[in-house]
C-alpha cells in the first residue's frame, strides 16, 4: 500500500503523524510512506524583496520540516520517502497522487469560518473533491 502524508508547518502535523504511525502498525505489511510538503513560491514572491531566493528558501524550510517530522516516523521504526512539490497545494497533491498511483492521502483539515471557505476555500476540501484515491482527513 502506498500512502502519502501531507505536512504543513503547524501543530496538526504532529497529530497526523501519530495517526499515521497507528495506521501503519495496524497493517500486516508495512506501507510505503511518502512525506509531502507543498511550497508555492509564486504565492508569496510579490511580498519579498527583489533578488531574494524565495524558492530556495522555501525548499530549505520544507526539507527541514520533513526531516523533523520524518524523525518521528524513524523513531517508530517506519521508513519513508519525501517529496517537495511546488505550486497550488491541492492541484500538486492530486497530480502527485495520480502520477505515483497512491492508495491513500493522509492530511489535516482545519476548521474554516464561512467567510474563509467562500473566499479562500480549503486545501483539504479541494483535495477530497479532486482525488482519485481515498483521502483520510485528520482534525
> pTM for the full model?
0.86
pLDDT band at 47 (very low <50, low <70, confident <90, very high): low
Has residue 111 got a pLDDT over 70?
A: no
For the segment(s) 2-137, the CATH number from 3.30.450.20, 3.40.50.620, 1.10.3720.10, 2.60.120.260 is 3.40.50.620
Give residue limits of the domains in the chain.
2-137
> What is the Cα–Cα distance from 18 to 136, expressed in whole angstroms?
13
pLDDT at 54 over 50: yes
pLDDT at position 119 is 47
pLDDT tens digits for range 34-45: 999 999 877 665
- Do residues 85 and 38 touch, judged by C-beta distance below 8 A? yes
pLDDT > 90: what percent of the chain? 60
Q: In this predicted structure, what is the pLDDT of residue 19?
A: 94
Amino acid at each position: 500500500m502506498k500512502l502519502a502524508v501531507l505536512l504543513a508547518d503547524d501543530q496538526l502535523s504532529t497529530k497526523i503523524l501519530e495517526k499515521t504511525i497507528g495506521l501503519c502498525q495496524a497493517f500486516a505489511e508495512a506501507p510505503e510512506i511518502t512525506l509531502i510538503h507543498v511550497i508555492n513560491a509564486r504565492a508569496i514572491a510579490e511580498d519579498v524583496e527583489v533578488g531574494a531566493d524565495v524558492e530556495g528558501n522555501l525548499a530549505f524550510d520544507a526539507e527541514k520540516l520533513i526531516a523533523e517530522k520524518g524523525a518521528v516516523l524513524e523513531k517508530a521504526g517506519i521508513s519513508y520517502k519525501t517529496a517537495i512539490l511546488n505550486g497550488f497545494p491541492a492541484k500538486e497533491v492530486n497530480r502527485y497522487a495520480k502520477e505515483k498511483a497512491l492508495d491513500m492521502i493522509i492530511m489535516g483539515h482545519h476548521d474554516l469560518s464561512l467567510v474563509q471557505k467562500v473566499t479562500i476555500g480549503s486545501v483539504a476540501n479541494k483535495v477530497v473533491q479532486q482525488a482519485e484515491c481515498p483521502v483520510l482527513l485528520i482534525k
